[in-house]
Amino acid sequence: MRISVIGCGYLGAVHAASMAKLGHEVVAVDVDPVKIGQLAAGQAPFFEPGLPETLDEALASGRIEFTTDTARVAGARVHFLAVGTPQGPTGAADLTYVDAAVTDLLPHLAPGDLVVGKSTVPVGTAARLAERVREVQPEATLVWNPEFLREGFAVQDTVAPDRFVYGVPAGEVGARAVAVLDEVYAQALAAGTPRLVVDLPTSELVKISANAFLATKISFINAMAEIAEVAGADVTALADAIGHDDRIGRKFLNAGLGFGGGCLPKDIRAFQARADELGVGRSLGFLAEVDAINLRRRAHVVTLAGELLGGAVEGRRVAVLGLAFKPNSDDVRDSPALDIAARLVELGATVRAYDPAANRTAARVRPEVGTVDSAAEALRDADLVLVLTEWAEFRELDPRDVAELVAAPVVLDGRNCLDRDAWTAAGFTVRGMGR
């Protein structure tokens, strides 16, 4: 099938390359000529495992074209909207890019075309956009097909997701749209991927509701960590115990710095803002505390660092291991790790930070945080070691080797990812989160 993808950011670039991998002919459009040039040359503009190989395969096949010319989408049967919805000044989602993408697409729609929203938008957006499509091309249909990508696993989650959700109109129009989407995703459906067909508002709520739940679960265990520290309990053992209850589960019950990235923080704030607009703000009032707990973790780590340094942060050497908001990513948007590093710099610490993928993106956002090219360079002569992103490289460090590099054997494990017994045996004072 010939399809188009409007927007070549994180979501769009992955989706376009993955669709070509599945055998479709793809034209991918973005307003940024630099980004288009990179992608056309086989260079991924961001770090995502598996994307360079998928991109190379797509380009070698001749099934993908990257362009800034929206007119090139004419003739495609399906048009995916994959542009960003950043947080606006009030916390609500900024739909500027979504509206602009639809405006640019409308002149090129033909009868029978399917416009498929992938972006995370406030509930009610799809109905508004569907009306715009009908006004210009009555025989085209807008549907919503939310994405569920996990950074670090985005290609896998596109090619073989854990479920598909189709938000479609009622009746024969919706049935035709379902048939077309089934053709797009034929390989994954044949492999047994579940597919749910729902109305437009439900489809818009799925991704943002899932993110709100995950954020709540993370903040819950971090609230328990606050209690565990005061009570002398171990939040990791607590999480293991309650995680055996299959109604709760162990996933996302890891106490630490809290969540970050480009989705969870902005999505829970946008969800609250939309609920307020709908007059049901009290229904999501709890998300304000979820957000507050999450942000509190960052200040707490800075406080713990000060305690471990004997109360004097200024002039002390601090090794920061990890700047991305999660491993296997170079994404530093709303990253707790980068925020903590910057706060320590503001307090006068000499910070040397290292991340296997995010040094460059971190330097663009917070240039005051000094980055180095290896963990060993960050660790040399450090008075305190902070592990802030749980990269395998950091989990697998030999504490005996680290002890020979640092000035003081003190480590703050911000992700509770280290082998505490091994580090203690190597002579380190180890402080975890809620432990």
Neighbours of 413 (CB within 10 A): 25
* 308 has binding-site annotation: no
Tokens of 5: 């993808």
Residue 148 annotated in ligand binding: yes
On whether 255 is known to bind a ligand per the annotation, the reply is yes
333 is in an annotated binding site: yes
Q: Is 151 annotated as a binding residue?
A: yes
Q: Annotated binding residue at 251? A: no
149 is an annotated ligand-binding site residue? yes
Query: Is 118 flagged in the annotation as binding?
Result: no
Is 314 marked within a binding site? no
8 annotated active-site: no
One-letter amino acid of 273: A
* Catalytic residue selected from 17, 76, 223, 263: 263
Element of type H or E holding 195: strand 195-198
* 267 touches 283 (CB < 8 A): no
**21 annotated ligand-binding residue:** no
Three-class secondary structure of residue 425 per DSSP: helix
Question: Is 266 marked as a binding-site residue?
Answer: yes
**Which residues have C-beta within 8 Å of that of residue 128, sequence separation ≥ 6?**
none
Q: If you compute the radius of gyration of the chain from its CA atoms, what whole number of angstroms results? A: 23
Instruction: Determine the Cα–Cα distance for residues 13 and 19; give it in Å rounded to an integer.
Output: 10
Find out whether 260 is annotated in a ligand binding site. Answer: yes
DSSP string, 34-100: HHHHHHHTT--SS--TTHHHHHHHHHHHT-EEEES-GGGGTT-SEEEE-----B-TTSSB--HHHHH
Query: What are the binding residues for substrate?
Result: 148-151, 207, 252-256, 260, 326
Binding residue ranges: 30, 35, 85, 120, 148-151, 207, 252-256, 260, 266, 326, 333
Q: List the catalytic residues.
A: 263
Binding residues for NAD(+): 30, 35, 85, 120, 151, 266, 333
